[in-house]
Amino acid sequence: MTTETTTRHPVRAAAPPELGGLGLFTVLLAAALPLIDFFIVNVALPTIGADLSASESVLELVVAGYGVAYAVLLVLGGRLGDLFGRRRLFIGGMAAFGLASLACGLAPTAWSLVAARVAQGAASAAMLPQVLATIQSTTAGARRAKAMGLYGATAGLAMVAGQILGGVLVAADIAGTGWRAVFLVNVPVVLVGLLFAARTVPETRSSRPEPVDGPGTLLLAAALIALLAPLTEGRAAGWPLWTWLSLGAFPFLAGAFYVVERRADRAGRTPLVPPSLFRLVSLRRGLVLMLPFSMGFSGFMFVIAVALQEGARLGAVQAGLALAPLAVTFLFTSIAGPRLIARYGTRVVTAGTVLQGIGLVLIVLAVRSSWPDLGLLPLLPGGAIAGVGQALQLPVVMRLVLSEVPPARAGVGSGVMGTTQQSALALGVATLGTLFLALVPGMGMRDALMTTLLVQLAGVVLTGVLSLRLPRTIS
């Protein structure tokens, strides 16, 4: 009887869960929130400083505390999602992000705001890796390509929209909240996201759950803190001794992390970042290209915000809206991206670097000829072309990095990519921002801005050269 029943009713493996349209919207909404909050404070910092009587070094920590906590914990967040369930970590991380945003908006002092921003960064690190891991595990073929294209478009647009939204919210002074609105606006968005997530995001986890790598986690955290903390805080603090000691310790901590991870891999244990993951050519070359691109992106956004507000004397709204052409062209180009990739492959990235370079040159010429009357119209041609170029790069590279990562390691892969991107964003503000602010006293705001943009142009050229080594097609 048993054999006959088995013959008539064969046991079928359960079909993998699928991510529907509303579920995809929900995870993309969550992907946008951490990136928006990285950039939204750029135009709000002067108001925060005046209201909370915060020094420049403390204001730097409002930005750096979030960015460092976010970057340090991303890989761990991906591993925990693989282990305990991505939907569970996603919902928990989103709820924590909402609570931390509320704490930021209600912060009575500058130091309480810094603490709340660190908590917000940690919550983002729990939430974001689950987005990419869920997409990798619940989609395939054309649906995955479309979802990854939308993810890349969302990420790029969020970085620009964050700065624009920050200016609008500060100027609107909703119910007298002033700068606090840039954080409080997250609360209703998170509540909607949690409602949708509970109904539409399927639960997935690694088929072979792997324990947390304690030594690797601690060493990676120490290495990233040793690098990012002095670079983001050093200039405002006057480069005290601890910043140089920290930078000197970074290569030793990074080397120790690599040795520990390689030893764990060879012993059959599962390291936090398996070195074997970097044998994937698409992941390795994509991450290398992401570094100069993300550094240039964040450095540009920070420098242009400072220059427009303190040099061109624009208000928060005008400074934010000056970037609107970049956001609009980025959005529409991203929509067309998947068709361009299907036809031309990763050479789309090379074309994007050329267009971004042209856009930067036009912005430099606009600064030279129009300063200090700089705003939407002078920046429109360069910003619009640069937006097209950036949209042809970021979504493609993000899709490429994860294209060959097996679903069982989707959380680890997305955590590694997120850590690379977030670290590069923080480094961009630290390097290009520090260069710009160091040049201003001697060269003046206009020439310092032009010089910094030309340095960024060199980074765009480097990105273009690296793009020639990418695999021609994306699986």
> Over 60: is that where the pLDDT of 212 sits?
yes
CA dihedral 112, 116, 117, 120 (to 10 degrees): 180
Are 412 and 358 within 8 A, CB to CB?
no
Q: What is the mean pLDDT of residues 135-143?
A: 82
Amino acid at 299: G
Fill in the DSSP letter of residue 207: S
Q: What is the pLDDT of residues 406-426, one digit of tens each?
A: 777 777 787 788 888 888 888
Identify the burial level of 345 via C-beta atoms within 10 angstroms of its C-beta, where 0-12 means exposed, 13-18 middle and 19 or more buried: middle
State the Cα–Cα distance between residues 400 and 398, nearest whole angstrom: 5
Are 169 and 317 within 8 A, CB to CB?
no
State the Cα–Cα distance between residues 59 and 410, nearest whole angstrom: 35
How much is the mean pLDDT over the chain? 85
Q: What is the pLDDT of residues 237-267, one digit of tens each?
A: 788 999 999 999 999 999 999 999 888 888 7
State the Cα–Cα distance between residues 388 and 386, nearest whole angstrom: 5
Residue 211: other Cβ atoms inside 10 A:
9
Are 387 and 324 within 8 A, CB to CB?
no
Q: What is the pLDDT of residues 431-446, one digit of tens each?
A: 888 889 889 899 989 9
State the Cα–Cα distance between residues 47 and 276, nearest whole angstrom: 47
CA distances from 308 to 201, 246, 374, 390 (A): 41, 33, 7, 21
Confidence of residue 395 (pLDDT cuts 50, 70, 90): confident
pLDDT of residue 13: 45
pLDDT of residue 328: 85
Radius of gyration of the chain (CA): 22
Question: Which of 9-13, 27-31, 339-343, 418-422 ranks highest by mean pLDDT?
Answer: 27-31
Identify the burial level of 142 via C-beta atoms within 10 angstroms of its C-beta, where 0-12 means exposed, 13-18 middle and 19 or more buried: exposed
Q: What is the pLDDT of residues 63-120, one digit of tens each?
A: 878 888 888 888 888 888 888 888 999 999 999 999 999 999 999 999 999 999 999 9
Which residues, including other chains, have CB under 8 Å from residue 340's CB and lie 6 or more apart?
A: 348, 392
Q: What token pair was written down for 248?
A: 């000197």
pLDDT of residue 27: 92
State the Cα–Cα distance between residues 474 and 151, nearest whole angstrom: 16
Residue 458: other Cβ atoms inside 10 A:
12
Which residues, including other chains, have CB under 8 Å from residue 13's CB and lie 6 or more apart?
A: none
Of 325, 306, 341, nearest in space to 445 by CA: 306
Confidence of residue 14 (pLDDT cuts 50, 70, 90): low
Helix (DSSP H) and strand (DSSP E) numbers for the chain? 19, 0
The sign of the CA dihedral 295, 298, 301, 303 is negative
State the Cα–Cα distance between residues 48 and 227, nearest whole angstrom: 26
Q: Cα 394 to chain center, whole Å?
A: 11
Phi-psi region of 314 (alpha: psi -120 to 50; beta: other; left: phi over 0): beta
Q: Cα 260 to chain center, whole Å?
A: 27
Q: What phi and psi, each to the nearest 5 degrees, are found at residue 331? A: -60, -50
Coil/strand/helix, residue 54: coil
